[in-house]
Copies of this chain bind each other. A is one copy, B any other.
Amino acid sequence: MIEPTRLDVSGERIRAVYEFTGPPVEARSRAEALAVEQTIEFPADLVPDDDIRGQIIGRIESLEETGPRTVRVAVGYAVETTGLEFPQFLNVLFGNSSLLPDVKLVDVEIPSTLVARFGGPRFGIAGLREMFDAPERPLLATALKPMGMSPERFAEMAYELALGGIDMIKDDHSLADQPFARFEERVRACSAAVRRANEETGSKSIYMPSINAPHRLLDERVEIALGAGAGGLLILPGLTGFDHMRELAADDGVGIPIMGHPAFLGGFVSSPTGGIAHDVVFGTLMRLAGADVSIFPNFGGRFSFSREACTEISTACRRPLGEIAPMWPAAGGGMTVDRTGEMVDFYGRDIVLLIGGDLHRGESLRESAAAFRSAIG
């Protein structure tokens, strides 16, 4: 038995909801084990009746049978367990519990101290509507590809796409610093190309380079992007970390929109009974970590997300979440211009429509982009 400990704890709690799959009769003991695992990771019988037991161990707030073999359990964690830091916040939510069988993280709510600390999207839905002078319409996005093209070719593409009226022209997420198109050269060329198109047409398109870099080079790549006049950043938090994205969003010296890409994060949503729910990964976590736009694979494309999952994600992007601004869902992944109407009907007008390869099928990129722009009415 350890010595009794008294602690100064505010009482503010994070609320995490887990779905347990298995016999409902076992759910309470499994939940109690999880609440220990996520906090003290120590034999509970060796903890006296003190503040570690009363305040630090997660508190089971509710337990509800949602099916013959599923129970939803809400666990409250003292905000102090996170040290008010995002990586440790994720650790409290799903660090070791990610390794437990048949436990899925399905919802997260955070108290006001963390809302203030994490901040969320700098622009969000309202901010990008203002930036693009688009008070009502969906926003349009596309990607520069394929890998193997030169910086000059990407810049020509970016110019044509901006002339055609695409709002956000991002790097394909596969573009890093390959020899075919070095980061700095590509970013300077594409930023200049989009600026030139904007000057010619008066439009407000932005180029968003992909900041998928080794840890030690992340700051340098961001500085190059800012120096070149890039209008936004594409971030892959599954590879460079959620907290890096959050810091970029919070940094007044950056101050441009951030698009979060789902690369590598699919592993979390590949199990029906484990991992993290689609809407938590691509909605809540992306949003808490400051993405203004969150890309996810639309139903009916190359990927496997269901209509239901897409609805849940887009809802999580836009639902009330403390003072955290709503975020744009961006549905992509093998989308085509002829699905535009269907997608707007499905998602509503607060949606970013992301079409990549399909724009290359027409006579010219500019015409394809213009047709895409016309299609949103």
Contacts and interface: CB of A to CB of B under 8 A. Distances in A.
Interface of A: 2-3, 5, 7-8, 33, 37-43, 46-47, 51-52, 55-56, 80-83, 85-88, 90-92, 94-102, 143, 145-150, 153, 172-174, 176-180, 212-218, 236, 238-241, 243-244, 246-247, 262-276, 297, 302-305, 333, 356-358, 360-361
23 contacts: A5-B150, A39-B174, A40-B145, A46-B357, A52-B149, A55-B148, A80-B179, A83-B177, A86-B214, A87-B236, A88-B178, A90-B239, A91-B264, A95-B174, A95-B239, A97-B266, A98-B262, A98-B264, A101-B303, A215-B241, A239-B243, A266-B274, A271-B274
A299 B180 CA distance: 46
Given A33-B302, A39-B174, A46 B360 contact: yes
Given A263-B91, A360-B42, A5 B149 contact: yes
Copies in the complex: 2
Contacts of A176: 82-83, 85, 87-88, 91
A47 B271 CA distance: 34
Contact of A267 (B3, B86, B94): B94
A40 B147 contact: yes
B212 A88 contact: yes
A47 B146 contact: yes
Contacts of A179: 8, 80, 83
A285 B136 CA distance: 45
A96 B263 contact: yes
The 3 nearest A-B residue pairs measured at CB: A270-B274, A98-B266, A40-B146
A97 B240 CA distance: 17
Contacts of A80: 178-180
Contact of A37 (B99, B102, B273, B302): B302
Nearest to A95: B263
A8 B150 CA distance: 12
Given A270-B275, A360-B2, A174 B214 contact: no
Given A239-B87, A270-B98, A81 B147 contact: yes
Given A41-B174, A96-B173, A148 B5 contact: yes
Contacts of A153: 3
Given A215-B244, A240-B87, A274-B267, A99 B148 contact: no
